[in-house]
Amino acid sequence: MIEHLPALMIAVPLFGAFTTPLFKKKPRAAALWALSITAVTLCLGILLVKEVTTKGMMIYVFGASSPGLVLPSGYHVPVRIIFEVDAMGAFMALSAVLMSFIGAMYSYSHVKFETGLEKYYALLLLLEVGILGMVLTGDLFNLFVFLEIAGISGSALVGFRNYRGEASEAGLKYLIVSAVASLMVLFSIGLLYGEYGNLNMAYLSTQIGFNTVDIIALGLLFTSFAMKCGAVPTHYWVPDAYSEVPAGINPTLLVATYASLYALFRVSFSLFGKVTLTMSSVGWIMSVIGVLTMFIGVTMALVQKDVKRLMSYHAISQTGYMLLGVGVGLTVINDPAKMAAFGRDAMAGGIFHIINHIIYKSLLLMTAGALFYVTGTRNLNEMGGLARKMPYTTIAFIVGAAAISGIPPFNGFASKFLIYETSYQLNPLLAIFAMVTSILTLASFVKVFASAFLGPPVEKYENVGEVPKPMVAAMLILAALCILFGLFPNIVLNKLVYPAVDALLNLSGYQTWGGVL
Amino acid sequence: MTTVIIKTTTKYLAALILTFGAYIIVHGHLTPGGGFQGGAVFASGLALLIVACEGDVIRERFKKVPLSALESVGALGFLGMATLGFMGYTFFRNVIANSGFPLFGEPTPLGINPGYLNTGGTLPYMNIFVGTKVLAGLTSIILVFYLLLEVRENE
């Protein structure tokens, strides 16, 4: 049964998503059902990571008579939909299943009093399916389909509190951005399909050359995935979407954003691996976009008063670190000496930062959701003195804020330090921007901490208490992960991150489906 | 909103459109079209019927139709057909084709032929399930819009 894991990763949450709407008028049952489905998927995800890191890439051919049959007798090109799971895909899948589980646990209490919960959980599971499909697939059109699934279910969830006008606006904005990005992706898939007559990414990457149509396709794919991962200058949808979505969806929505980042990396390293090997400008573009993203994101965060909006701008800024780390690696990919000296470590920093950021930003957004749950407002000026009332939330917030500012021994420090050290060797200016951004991040989180948790108690919140247990549990799990990843970064790096980096760099392995041919 | 013209046209056209939709769904594995297209045609026939009737009648009739449950059943059926492949093969494997199963399992003859309905394995089943899902989904969307329009007019 173990060889069916990649298909089960899609089938199980899809089954959950289709059965959840049947629990109409029983929101408790729907929540528990979704929680158990995400728990099962989490177990499957852990199994998948274990399998991929010990035995290497997993191939799954849909509809074939056996999972590994890429080329049936007499075929020279693959024709079926193929899932190609390497360590990078498994790494992203692990983040997705973990965060969906945490999100479902948090949602159990957080959205208890809303209506239409069976649809909420069905959409949460569909979003998970979309992310998992995006990160596991080896087929370009399949990638587009799952991108659409994630985009549509994500925008429906952003607009979930439709009695608030802002939520509907944010949902519509996210829908339009997703639709534009997906259309551009579809257009470039059309270009590549018209040219090479195939949709398999591994096969396409062996064929792609240096002609104009390919470069147009690369530009379109690069732009649209950068748009969906919230890089400057197409970051405008992030603050709206993140601050309006219910906090229980935030972890999954974050992973959905980084699934697009994964697709960006996959396009740059695998699909167009032959082109980027000779064109270091792609790597430079990625690094410069990264620096711009982190700096513009953080400067806009400094002036915010809405706690979730402030954190959303930080999410943009942190995406910049990942782009910078991986971009530095991509810049020196054609120079083996530099690659060994700092390129590989830079990419490790960028990819390690993905999971670190997903963990601590989910934690922070969930503490903001907890503040909203007890106070009913997101305005920092109206809060105060909540540390005495909500001790667990305060601890979780301190851990998250320290992690995002890159203070040792939390996980943010581990990945940021790798990025500072390596980007300095490419160009010192890059590292200086990265450090300044980190200091500004710390400044703005000190502001949040002081105005929400410290200070004299506010009369209005005399009777508020700690949030319900499932929310506390979800936050404390993430806080524990922040500390663990910070204390033992070498274990995570060796077990998860370096295999993922090597999988991205192993172009010939990807092109031959892990040595099947 | 409804007029004699709409009512009279619907009387003749609705049955035709519904039959055509069902035809496209069931013949999905032989002719152009399939579950989605047929389901959309079927739903447009239902939309015509909805438009031709009074709001109260529609509300009364559709109260008993479990549209969202039908949607789930369609999707689950599709997934179920795909999971059949886990019996020894892979996900989405067409296990029924050419197996001699009485419904849609006949062996497909080679060469030029008029097209045999009783072939195709899991494909016709999937078409039918997708058709169910699409017609339920689109009909419920139309219904929501129609009933909203009623509310707006009454205000």
CA A513 from chain centre, in angstroms, equals 25
Domain assignments of chain B as residue spans, ordered by start = 4-154
Long-range contact list for A492-496, CB < 8 A, 24+ apart?
A492/A352, A492/A355, A493/A348, A493/A352, A493/A414, A495/A53, A496/A49, A496/A53, A496/A87, A496/A91, A496/A94, A496/A355
Q: Three-class SS string for A139-195?
A: EHHHHHHHHHHHHHHHHHHHCCCCCCHHHHHHHHHHHHHHHHHHHHHHHHHHHHHHH
Mutate to test the interface with A, among B83, B89, B91 (most CBs of A within 10 A): B91
DSSP helix/strand/coil, A233: coil
State the nearest Cα–Cα gap between A70 and chain B, in angstroms.
12
Q: Express each pLDDT in A313-344 by its tens digit.
A: 999 999 999 999 999 999 988 888 888 889 89
Q: Which residue of B has its CA nearest to A118?
A: B68
Q: Express each pLDDT in B82-118 by its tens digit.
A: 999 988 889 999 888 888 888 888 888 888 888 888 8
B84 vs A492: CA distance, rounded Å: 38
Residue A319 · residue A260 · CB < 8 Å: no
Chain B residues bordering chain A (beta-carbon distance below 8 Å)? 68-69, 71-72, 75-76, 79, 82-83, 85-86, 89-94
pLDDT confidence of residue A517: 61
Q: What is the DSSP string of A350-394?
A: HHHHHHHHHHHHHHHHHHHHHHHHHHS--BGGG---TTTT-HHHH
Flag whether pLDDT at B1 surpasses 70.
Answer: no
Q: Which residue of A has its CA nearest to B93?
A: A63
pLDDT confidence of residue B36: 94
Residues 59-88 of A with CB under 8 A from B: 60-67, 81
- Structural tokens at position A282: 């792609």
A400 vs A294: CA distance, rounded Å: 18
Select the more confidently predicted residue: A496 or B148: A496
Flag whether pLDDT at A113 surpasses 90.
Answer: no
State the nearest Cα–Cα gap between A12 and chain B, in angstroms.
10
A301 vs A363: CA distance, rounded Å: 18
Whether residues A14 and B69 touch (CB distance < 8 A) is answered with: no
| CB–CB contacts below 8 A, A to B | 48
Confidence of residue B154 (pLDDT cuts 50, 70, 90): low
User: A61: which strand partners?
Assistant: A82
Q: Which residue of B has its CA nearest to A22?
A: B69
Interface membership of A194 toward B (CB under 8 Å): no
Handedness of CA A32, A475, A378, A244 (dihedral sign): negative
Which residue among A7, A22, A81 sits closest to B69, beta carbon to beta carbon? A22
A474-to-A146, A311, A469, A478, A480 alpha-carbon distances in Å: 27, 18, 9, 7, 10
Whether residues B76 and A4 touch (CB distance < 8 A) is answered with: no
Question: Mean pLDDT score of chain B, rounded to an integer?
Answer: 89
Greatest alpha-carbon span in chain A: 78
The values of phi and psi at residue A58, to 5°, are -110, 135
Whether residues B86 and A64 touch (CB distance < 8 A) is answered with: no
Q: Express each pLDDT in B128-137 by its tens digit.
A: 999 999 999 9
Mutate to test the interface with B, among A18, A58, A60 (most CBs of B within 10 A): A18
State the nearest Cα–Cα gap between A427 and chain B, in angstroms.
49
Q: Rg (Cα) of chain A, in Å, rounded?
A: 22
A222 vs A237: CA distance, rounded Å: 18
Q: Express each pLDDT in A19-73 by its tens digit.
A: 999 988 889 999 999 999 999 999 999 999 999 999 889 999 998 888 888 888 7
State the nearest Cα–Cα gap between A259 and chain B, in angstroms.
24
Question: Mean pLDDT score of chain A, rounded to an integer?
Answer: 91
Select the more confidently predicted residue: A497 or A514: A497
Select the more confidently predicted residue: B60 or A1: B60
Provide ipTM, 2 decimals: 0.90
Which residue among B71, B79, B91 sits closest to A62, beta carbon to beta carbon? B91
CB contacts of B85 in chain A (<8 Å) are 63
CB contacts of A11 in chain B (<8 Å) are 79, 82-83, 91
pLDDT confidence of residue B81: 93
pLDDT confidence of residue B62: 84
Per cent of chain A over pLDDT 90 is 70
